[in-house]
Amino acid sequence: SGVERLGDMIAEAKTIVPFTGAGISTECGIPDFRSPGGLWMRNRPIPFDEFATSQEARDESWRRRFAMEATFAAAKPGRGHRALASLYRAGKVPAVITQNIDNLHQASGFAAEHVIELHGNTTYARCIGCGQTYQLDWVKRRFEEDGAAPDCTVCDEPVKTATISFGQMMPEDEMQRATELSRDCDLFIAIGSSLVVWPAAGFPMMAKNCGARLVIINREPTEQDDIADLVIRHDIGETLGPFVGN
What are the residues binding Zn ion (CB under 5 A)? 127, 129-130, 132, 152, 154-155, 157
Identify what 219 binds: ligand OAD, Zn ion, none; CB under 5 to 8 Å per kind.
ligand OAD
- Work out which of 103, 123, 161, 218 binds ligand OAD, going by CB under 6 A: 218
Nearer of residues 138 and 210 to Zn ion, judged by Cβ? 138
Class of residue 168 by CB neighbours under 10 A (exposed 0-12, middle 13-18, buried 19+)? middle
Q: Interface with ligand OAD includes 125 (CB under 6 A)? A: no
Nearer of residues 111 and 155 to Zn ion, judged by Cβ? 155
- Work out which of 13, 194, 216, 224 binds ligand OAD, going by CB under 6 A: 194
Of residues 152-191, which lie at the interface with ligand OAD (CB under 6 A)?
164, 166
- Work out which of 10, 17, 27, 83 binds ligand OAD, going by CB under 6 A: 27
The CB-of-57 to Zn ion minimum distance in angstroms stands at 18
Q: Interface with ligand OAD includes 81 (CB under 6 A)? A: no
Q: Which of 81, 105, 114, 119 is catalytic?
A: 119
Closest CA to 120 of 75, 172, 49, 158: 172
The per-residue DSSP string of 42-111 comes to: HS----HHHHHH-HHHHHHHHHHHHHTHHHHHH----HHHHHHHHHHHTTS-S-EEE---S-HHHHTT--
The CB-of-155 to Zn ion minimum distance in angstroms stands at 3
Of residues 49-68, which lie at the interface with ligand OAD (CB under 6 A)?
none
Q: Interface with ligand OAD includes 236 (CB under 6 A)? A: yes
H helix runs in the chain, sequence order: 2-12, 39-42, 48-53, 55-67, 69-74, 79-89, 104-107, 136-146, 172-184, 202-209, 236-240
The CB-of-93 to ligand OAD minimum distance in angstroms stands at 19
Q: Is 119 a catalytic residue?
A: yes
Q: In what order do the strands lie in the sheet with 133-134?
A: 133-134, 120-127, 159-163
Q: What is the DSSP pairing of strand 133-134 with strand 120-127?
A: antiparallel
Question: Contact at 8 Å (CB) between 206 and 179?
Answer: yes
59, 65, 108, 144, 145 from 73: Cα distances, Å: 21, 12, 14, 19, 23
Q: Interface with ligand OAD includes 26 (CB under 6 A)? A: yes
The contact set with ligand OAD (CB under 6 A) reads 21-23, 26-27, 32-35, 38, 45, 99, 119, 164, 166, 192-194, 197, 218-220, 235-237
Residues annotated as catalytic are 119
